[in-house]
Amino acid sequence: MIRPAEALRLLHINWVLLRHGLDEVILATHLFRPVRFLIYLSPFYWLRRNRLPAYPVRMRQALEDLGPIFIKFGQILSTRRDLLPADIADELAKLQDAVPPFSGQQARRIIEQAFGHPIEDVLDSFDEKPLASASIAQVHTAELKDGRKVVVKVLRPDIERVIRRDVGLLYIIAGLADRYWKDGRRLRPVEVVRDYEKTILDELDMQREAANAAQLRRNWEGSDILFVPEIYWEYTRTNVLVMERIHGIPVGNIKALKAAGISMEQLGTQGVEIFFTQVFRDNFFHADMHPGNIFVEPGGRYIAVDFGIVGSLTTEDQRYLAENLLAFFNRDYYRVAELHVESGWVPKGTRVEEFESAIRSVCEPIFNKPLSEISFGHFLLNLFQTARRFDMEVQPQLVLLQKTLLYIEGLGRQLYPELDLWATAKPFLERWMKEQVGPKAFTRKLKKNLPQMTEYAADMPILLYKVLRDASEGRLELNWKSAELEQLRKDARRHQRHLLAAISGASLLLTGTLLLLLGPGQLLPATAVTSTGLGLSALGGFALIRTWFKA
């Protein structure tokens, strides 16, 4: 049931879409298709038709008008190039968190409420003018009592309520799109909104972000290529984060980097090295490494900030990624197809030869470019798009990694256009693969599993005896459950209910129609026959329509 406030917000969303000439988004659904022709009768449609910007531009402008939550949704959606056409993804990538800051006094009250003390008892100084402002939080500079310079990140007031309201509306819109839009099944809008909800709600927890930062700092402690600022846990709460203040050159400021005498080739190579080290050594990677979150020290060391979004892979995912990239550069498309089937990401019945042919058709054109221009990110993107045609399930962790890889590649080639990603990445991939097979890998896995094996080994003779005894006495039973069979049962019960409702509705409709056709008799006067006939016909018709919509 949609609440009045949600209904008003939905009306506002539709008004914004219409104002930006996106009425075709609404009228393209199956629900409005019967009346779609009416728009072509409107003089307004023909007058403004040639004056509107391109469709992707209108989409971006509408999201900007709908506010910060929809802007954030558009930013995340722009990374789903496995779902969106390239022109729309490129335009949505231009969305910026141009959100006005909230007052410094309000930030002060939030901090004092979180600390339970006046701000002067905790901080020696606090600048009420924000250093930066975004859709979820804003950042202020401050100084601790011991003189350490820090930044204080404060969640926007009432932001969780706003997010939950707008995400709820996105679910309603996605549900309608999934049901009535012709591309709904392919683009899976509900799934996209679910991924967005998880991402944005995770960003609301400052302690979670602090934990991510602390983990990355441990992984890169003492590194001369990446610095992660320290988190001050005693001052960090769920809505307030306090961490070491950093000073550096924004990585997008190429002119300033060159003026500082920093090697562009070294920066480009080290960026790729950092990414692959996080993925294959640490299995914990910063997944929001756009230029706004990266700075460079005068000595050339990277500094990372904003740790709200991180990713990790299972060992199987790591192996899939490494083997796919190695097979891709060896042009072994059959192995790439095999990996997808073996992992279960495409149905077991998929013909490997057919899948191999589809992969070859999208990968071969990539090799027409020089090796220094080949993009890992676009390879993965093409691979995911092809695999989805073969019913590959979305792997959120790999989509996150592919998005991060595109960021890193774009940044690396912006800094050093001749960057050869393959030359940098190949040693990581080959070294990791060697560690996963052979005597060393066997010894490591055995050592890891030995405590659990020792714990269960003592119970094995008793369990084996019980199984053999039950088998010899005819008491051995096999309990088997199948998710597919259970789903078939549910579908059968649902179809049975729909059939029963349809029969009942048809019977009521037929009875009402007969009463109206045969007319009054000795037992029923004319008024009773008419009212009963109309009532039964209406009830039966309503039941049939309801059953038809549900089916």
User: pLDDT-based confidence at 183, cuts 50/70/90?
Assistant: low
Confidence label for 231 from pLDDT (cuts 50, 70 and 90)? very high
Is the same domain home to 80 and 210?
Answer: no
**Which comes out higher in pLDDT, residue 425 or 357?**
357
Most confident of 162-166, 211-215, 453-457: 211-215
More confident call, 58 vs 240: 240
Q: Identify the domain containing residue 457 by its residue range.
A: 441-470
Regarding whether 289 and 165 lie in a shared domain, the answer is: no
Catalytic: which of 288, 306, 317, 420?
Answer: 288
Tell me if 134 is assigned to a ligand binding site. yes
Residue 306, CB half-sphere, CA atoms under 13 Å: how many?
Answer: 17
138 appears as a binding residue in the annotation? yes
- Backbone φ and ψ of 260, nearest 5°: -80, 0
Flag whether 139 is marked binding.
yes
Helices 421-436 and 439-457 cross at an angle (nearest 10°) of 40
pLDDT recorded at residue 147: 92
Torsion of CA 446, 449, 452, 453, to 10 degrees: -30
Q: Is residue 479 part of a domain?
A: no
254-263, 311-320, 411-420, 496-505, range with greatest mean pLDDT? 254-263
Please give the average per-residue pLDDT across 207-216, as a whole number: 95
Q: Inform me whether the pLDDT recorded for 338 exceeds 80.
A: yes
More confident: 394 or 199: 199
Based on the fold, state whether residues 252 and 283 are members of the same structural domain.
yes
d(C-alpha 152, C-alpha 158), whole Å: 18
Domain containing 137 — which CATH number? 1.10.510.10
- For residue 325, tell me if it sits in a domain: no
Please give the Cα distance from 527 to 534 (Å, whole number): 11
Could you tell me if residue 482 is inside a domain?
A: no
For the cut 80, the answer to whether the pLDDT of residue 544 exceeds it is no
Establish if 404 belongs to a structural domain: no
Give CA 369 to chain center in angstroms: 30
- The answer on pLDDT for 30 being more than 70 is no
Query: Within a domain: residue 386?
Result: no
Total structural domains within the chain = 4
- Whether 533 has a pLDDT exceeding 80, the answer reads no
Q: How far apart are CA 273 and CA 247, in angstroms?
A: 23
Last residue of a domain, one of 310, 330, 345: 310
Q: Which of 19-28, 48-57, 130-139, 222-231 ranks highest by mean pLDDT?
A: 222-231
pLDDT reported for residue 50: 60
302 within some domain? yes
At residue 184, does pLDDT exceed 70? Answer: no
* pLDDT category of residue 144 using cuts at 50, 70 and 90: very high
Determine if residue 132 is labeled as part of a ligand binding site. yes
> For position 119, what pLDDT does the model report?
92
Q: Of 310, 336, 357, which residue sits at a domain end?
A: 310
Shared domain check, 302 and 167:
no
State the Cα angle at 410 between 408 and 413, rounded to 5°.
105
Query: Is residue 228 a known part of a binding site?
Result: no
Rounded distance, CA 352 to CA 341, Å? 8
> Does one domain contain both 178 and 150?
no
Q: Average of pLDDT values for 357-363?
A: 86
Which of 148, 177, 201 is the last residue in one of the domains? 201
Instruction: Name the residue with higher pLDDT: 112 or 380.
Output: 112
| pLDDT number for residue 46 | 53
Is 196 found in the same domain as 139?
A: no
Q: How far apart are CA 54 and CA 60, in angstroms?
A: 10
Q: Specify whether 184 is located in the same domain as 247.
A: no
Question: pLDDT value at position 69?
Answer: 75
Least confident stretch, 28-32, 89-93, 412-416, 527-531: 28-32
Name the residue with higher pLDDT: 397 or 317: 317
Q: Maximum Cα–Cα distance for the chain, whole Å?
A: 107
Mark whether 191 and 210 lie in a shared domain. Answer: no
- What value does the mean pLDDT take over residues 74-93? 73
What pLDDT was estimated at residue 538? 79
pLDDT for position 152: 96
Task: Report the predicted TM-score, pTM, of the whole model to 2 decimal places.
Answer: 0.70
Domain co-membership, 75 together with 210: no
- The reply to whether 137 sits in an annotated binding site is yes
Region 15-21: mean pLDDT is 74
Let me know if residue 518 belongs to a domain.
yes
User: How is residue 429 written in tokens?
Assistant: 């991939």
SS3 call for 123 = strand
Radius of gyration (C-alpha) of the chain in whole angstroms: 30
Q: Is residue 230 part of a domain?
A: yes
How far apart (Å, rounded) are the C-alpha atoms in residues 277 and 363?
Answer: 26
Token look-up 């993009």 returns 375
Residues 92, 21: one domain? yes
Q: Has residue 38 got a pLDDT over 60?
A: no
Give residue 44's pLDDT band: very low, low, confident or very high (50, 70, 90): low
Q: What is the mean predicted confidence (pLDDT) over 422-449?
A: 75
**Residue 220: its pLDDT value, please?**
95
288 labelled catalytic: yes
Instruction: Work out the mean pLDDT of the chain and round it to a whole number.
Output: 80
Strongest mean pLDDT among 181-185, 239-243, 345-349, 358-362? 239-243
Percent of the chain with pLDDT over 70: 82
Q: Between residues 39 and 364, which one has the greater pLDDT?
A: 364
201 marked among binding-site residues: no
- Tell me, yes or no, whether 9 and 151 share the same domain: no
What pLDDT, on a 0 to 100 scale, did the predictor assign at position 233?
Answer: 95
Quick one: 154 and 14 in the same domain?
A: no
**What does the block give as tokens for 354?**
């057919």
Residue 210 confidence class, pLDDT cut points 50, 70, 90: very high
For residue 77, the Cα-to-chain-centroid distance in whole angstroms is 8
To the question of whether residue 466 is assigned a binding role by annotation, the answer is: no
